[in-house]
Amino acid sequence: MKQNIQLPEGSLEKQTTTLNLGPTHPATHGVFQNILEMDGERIIDAVPTIGFIHRAFEKIAERRAYYQITPLTDRLNYCSSPINNMGWHMTVEKLIGAKLPKRVEYLRVIIMELSRIADHLVCNSVIGVDTGAFTGFIYVFEFREKIYEIFEEVCGSRLTTNIGRIGGFERNFSDLAFQRINAFLKEFPKAMKEFETLFNRNRIFMERTMGVGGIDADRALNYGFTGPNLRAAGIDYDVRVAHPYSSYEDFDFTVPIGTTGDVYDRYLVRNEEIWQSLSIIQQAMDKIKDLDPTVFHADIPDFYLPEKADVYSKMEALIYHFKIVMGETEVPVGEVYHSVEGGNGELGFYLLSDGGRTPYRLHFRRPCFIYYQAYPEIVKGMMLSDAVITMSSLNLIAGEIDA
């Protein structure tokens, strides 16, 4: 809404300028539209409009068998889709009461932490790009590529992974996968150190990010912030610690927190989380050495597809295969909420089952949908260029906002 600008007496009357930032703009990294009211270069008001890539996943999920919903979750936060996939598998496992072997849980932890690193790398290096430092982006994107190569070796795809199945993984990790993980653990810290040297104490970067886009702890909680953005404001809420899943309680890691909740703190929190993730992956690699290397799924024949060779030669396997593929497996009636610590916050699945083939209702608690509504409050009074880096530092993913 156009407003009059306060000017000294006797000046010509002036009004604010309306500026459409987005929906397609090179600086917004996704389909975001903000209708900004500007006084010169200063933002008076912002109105975000969302829904440009809304695909009605919650409705589609009501017509799909449980195993067919995994590909939908890929397309929420597509920077870390394995976390979404496994969050969904764990929700269904909670509903059916499946107990998973330790090795499966540790393998999941490895994959989830790798995707957390990938997610944070995208976010942090893009803050660099938006502040005019392209080099860091190039340094770390090579390693994001290496993470995708690991996913490729484990499940066959890279971005929208559809990794794992209800009850475990579709196949065991190959030797090559472990080699790639080990190579990553060995090489990545060097690049990460280089990246940090480039930014952490860089005067230009600090001037651009410190005190920009801050939110205090009370407001952040009131706005339902989760993940690194909440922790940057000083609240040590991490789903991995508060509501442990997939044996995260077996791992030793710290939850980094910031103080001011500004862009710089968010950047530092994410960087530290990358180091913590690396340590978790290392611990998980050590832990699985002592476990039976042939275990990669739980023993739940009602939900986990049998070996193809058995399907052709054994009666039970054929029946299970048919029932699973047609989605005719019995599911308990129940109401379950499960959440995982996604790349940008608490990703929750609220699942209502009426015992039928499909969920009665499935609701995704998407972290960035919830905290994006704080954006107008954060950017009010800031410069336009600060609004752009605030947006990239919040780690907003259009696919997740619009579901």
Interacting residue with another protein among 25, 102, 243, 380 (CB under 8 A)? 243
Q: What is the sign, positive or negative, of the torsion defined by CA atoms of 274, 198, 368, 144? A: negative
Interacting residue with another protein among 31, 191, 221, 384 (CB under 8 A)? 221
Choose one: 66-74, 146-154, 184-192, 346-354; the region binding another protein (CB under 8 A): 346-354
Bridge partners for 168 per DSSP? 165, 297
Residue 379: HSE in the Cβ half-sphere, 13 Å Cα cutoff: 30
Instruction: Specify the DSSP class assigned to residue 233.
Output: T
Minimum CB–partner distance for residue 246 and another protein (Å): 16
Minimum CB–partner distance for residue 357 and another protein (Å): 8
Q: Give one word for 227, left, alpha or beta, with left for phi > 0 and alpha for psi -120 to 50.
A: left
Is residue 255 close enough to count as binding another protein by CB under 8 A?
no
- Residue type present at position 321: H
- Residue type present at position 366: R
Interacting residue with another protein among 185, 191, 295, 370 (CB under 8 A)? 370
Minimum CB–partner distance for residue 255 and another protein (Å): 13
Cβ atoms of 373 and 394 closer than 8 Å = no
Minimum CB–partner distance for residue 126 and another protein (Å): 24
DSSP three-state, residue 254: coil
Is residue 363 close enough to count as binding another protein by CB under 8 A?
yes
Minimum CB–partner distance for residue 314 and another protein (Å): 23
- Residue type present at position 164: G
Q: Residues with Cβ < 8 Å from 213, sequence gap 6 or more?
A: 262, 263, 378, 379, 382, 386, 389, 390, 393, 394
Is residue 187 close enough to count as binding another protein by CB under 8 A?
no
Minimum CB–partner distance for residue 386 and another protein (Å): 22
Is residue 242 close enough to count as binding another protein by CB under 8 A?
yes
Nearest to 69 by CA among 52, 94, 50, 86: 86
Choose one: 80-88, 166-174, 199-207, 364-372; the region binding another protein (CB under 8 A): 364-372
Minimum CB–partner distance for residue 179 and another protein (Å): 38
Residues 321, 383: Cα–Cα separation, whole Å: 58
Q: In the complex with another protein, which residue's Cβ is closer, 91 or 161?
A: 91
Binding mask 14-53 toward another protein (x if CB under 8 A, else -) reads ------------------------------------xx--
Q: Give one word for 247, left, alpha or beta, with left for phi > 0 and alpha for psi -120 to 50.
A: left
Binding mask 84-123 toward another protein (x if CB under 8 A, else -) reads ----------xx----------------------------
- Residue type present at position 327: G
Choose one: 9-17, 38-46, 367-375, 379-387; the region binding another protein (CB under 8 A): 367-375
Cβ atoms of 175 and 352 closer than 8 Å = no
Is residue 379 close enough to count as binding another protein by CB under 8 A?
no
Cβ atoms of 347 and 84 closer than 8 Å = yes
Nearest to 312 by CA among 303, 299, 304, 321: 321
Nearest to 80 by CA among 391, 379, 347: 347
Q: Where are the alpha helices (DSSP H) in 158-313?
A: 175-199, 203-209, 217-222, 227-232, 239-242, 263-288, 308-313
Minimum CB–partner distance for residue 128 and another protein (Å): 29
Interacting residue with another protein among 113, 130, 262, 402 (CB under 8 A)? 402
Tell me the two tokens of residue 215: 């939110």
Interacting residue with another protein among 106, 143, 223, 248 (CB under 8 A)? 223
Residues 70, 349: Cα–Cα separation, whole Å: 12
Interacting residue with another protein among 328, 330, 355, 381 (CB under 8 A)? 328
Binding footprint of another protein, residue count (CB under 8 A): 42
Minimum CB–partner distance for residue 63 and another protein (Å): 4
Residues 77, 368: Cα–Cα separation, whole Å: 9
Is residue 67 close enough to count as binding another protein by CB under 8 A?
no
Binding stretches for another protein (CB under 8 A)? 50-51, 54, 56, 58-60, 62-63, 94-95, 219, 221-224, 235, 237, 242-243, 326, 328, 334-337, 346, 348, 350, 352, 357, 360-361, 363, 365, 369-370, 372-374, 402-403
